Amino acid sequence: MDKLRISGGRPLEGEIAVSGAKNAALPIMCAALLTDKPLALSNVPRLMDIATMAKLLGQMGVDIEREGDRATLRAREIRDAVAPYELVKTMRASVLVLGPLLARCGRARVSLPGGCAIGQRPVDQHVKGLQAMGAAITVEHGYMHASAARLKGARVVMDMVTVTGTENLMMAATLAEGSTLLENAAREPEVVDLADCLVKMGAKIEGAGSDVIRIEGMRALGGAAHAVMPDRIETGTYLAATAAAGGRVRLTRAAPDSLDASLEKLREAGALVRKGAGFIDIEMTGRPRSVSVRTAPYPGFATDMQAQFMALATIAGGTALITETIFENRFMHALELQRLGADIAITGNTAIVRGVERLQGAGVMATDLRASAGLVIAGLVAEGQTVVERIYHLDRGYEALEKKLATLGARVERIK
């Protein structure tokens, strides 16, 4: 299994381009299930999760042609409306096929995702919404069996803000009879990107980006061409890395307005951050100041940036409170950061991080995608060598991580 060896202590300098957003590309690929016409995508990141989604869709009969960052998907006919456990357990976003399959084929069999490292992650809101739209859903042998002659528009008030739940229901509603109102909808930029793509396919959607989305169902959708939005979490990760390691970095092909909560926190930490047209500059000199964060749905501080900011706090001047409100078990990186010399105490859903002068390199284990990113940032500032194990987690969500870091002057090497 691959590992990442990082020799820390160098500032980051230079320019890199942001990749397409994993969490926008995944639902958008599923939107291809809604039409028999081709969906031509660009800025698709080259990631393990994208390959997993392509495999899942391929099994269902979707033709997929990939070249570089382009992918054309065409679901002429859906052979098999099934998402098997083997794929769903490795990638929870597989559940995003449920709404589109049901809307297009009137039936779907999708494995329950089960728990994962960061928490329980149930899908009750996806189910509840589809039931409100007239679907019959039963659970047998770990699979959701869903059927509906044609989904009917409905008013759905979600109990909590769920990103993939909103996406699943929005996609299903595009082919339902009548209009659907999604209330307490997720406002994440990825939801907006999906809505933009669906509108290009002929869907009628209003309010994406607000907490009420109205969808007017259509008989059929057509093909479209769409460029996936830039990855705001990848962007934030490199910015946090620069704030921690020091230096001067420009991130191009970015969506500068999609991560204001993180930018604000980086400024609080003492970084100079400047937004331009499609780029973000960051400059950091001296030791960062401690900044506390509390995760919240968009536009609040993203849970997917929590581990990276915890890493930053470990070497900052002062004490930071890091509070996780979205997932109940998303502090596993704290124990690994302690192996590098971090001073972290956890009470309930808050980590109290007292900044230390320096971290020391050590072997650490990645537990999930964003936790791994936090460990890499810590490795970049630690003295000596840090070896991050289980970097398949990183490969799921960061395109060419070690190449991009090397471009910025970091000493990072993948070892087999």
The number of residues that bind ligand EPU (CB under 6 A) is: 24
Distance of alpha carbon 360 from alpha carbon 285, whole angstroms: 21
Name the residue among 184, 41, 83, 80 with its Cα closest to residue 125.
184
| Closer Cβ to ligand EPU, 193 or 304, answer by number | 304
Residue 187 binds ligand EPU, judged by CB under 6 A? no
| Closer Cβ to ligand EPU, 125 or 235, answer by number | 125
Q: Out of 123, 239, 340, 365, name the contact with ligand EPU by CB under 6 A.
A: 123
**Considering 30, 105, 116, 197, which one is annotated as catalytic?**
116
Q: What is the CA radius of gyration of the chain?
A: 21
For residue 249, give both structure tokens. Answer: 């970095």
Residue 125 binds ligand EPU, judged by CB under 6 A? yes
Interacting positions 247-306 with ligand EPU (CB under 6 A): 303-304
For residue 104, give both structure tokens. Answer: 């297009």
Distance of alpha carbon 391 from alpha carbon 401, whole angstroms: 10
Rounded least distance, CB 232 to ligand EPU, Å? 11
Residue 231 binds ligand EPU, judged by CB under 6 A? no
Distance of alpha carbon 373 from alpha carbon 376, whole angstroms: 5
What's CA 185's distance to the chain center, in Å? Answer: 17
For 265, what's the count of Cα atoms within 13 Å in the CB-facing half-sphere? 29
Distance of alpha carbon 17 from alpha carbon 10, whole angstroms: 20
332 neighbors 368 (Cβ within 8 angstroms): yes
| Closer Cβ to ligand EPU, 280 or 326, answer by number | 326
Q: Out of 65, 124, 183, 206, name the contact with ligand EPU by CB under 6 A.
A: 124
| Closer Cβ to ligand EPU, 97 or 315, answer by number | 97
- With tokens 């460990």, the residue in question is 375
Q: Which amino acid is at 293?
A: V
Residue 89 binds ligand EPU, judged by CB under 6 A? no
Q: Out of 326, 337, 391, 394, name the contact with ligand EPU by CB under 6 A.
A: 326
- Alpha helical stretches, state H, 60-105: 85-88, 98-105
23 neighbors 163 (Cβ within 8 angstroms): yes
- With tokens 């009470």, the residue in question is 347
Rounded least distance, CB 163 to ligand EPU, Å? 4
For residue 84, give both structure tokens. Answer: 């098997």
Residue 183 binds ligand EPU, judged by CB under 6 A? no
Residue 324 binds ligand EPU, judged by CB under 6 A? no
Q: Which amino acid is at 311?
A: A
Beta-strand relationship, 319-323 and 293-294 = parallel
Rounded least distance, CB 16 to ligand EPU, Å? 19
Rounded least distance, CB 47 to ligand EPU, Å? 10
For residue 50, give both structure tokens. Answer: 């994208």
| Closer Cβ to ligand EPU, 19 or 164, answer by number | 164
Q: Does residue 116 have an active-site annotation?
A: yes
Residue 120 binds ligand EPU, judged by CB under 6 A? yes
Rounded least distance, CB 307 to ligand EPU, Å? 9
Q: Out of 104, 126, 265, 333, name the contact with ligand EPU by CB under 6 A.
A: 126
Q: Out of 162, 174, 292, 372, name the contact with ligand EPU by CB under 6 A.
A: 162
Q: Which residues pair with 204 in a beta bridge?
A: 216
Interacting positions 369-398 with ligand EPU (CB under 6 A): 369-370, 397
Interacting positions 190-219 with ligand EPU (CB under 6 A): none
Please give the helix or strand (H or E) that residue 302 lies within, else none: none
Rounded least distance, CB 57 to ligand EPU, Å? 15
Active-site positions read: 116
Which spans of this chain sit near ligand EPU (rule: CB under 6 A)?
23, 26, 92-93, 119-126, 160, 162-165, 303-304, 326-327, 369-370, 397
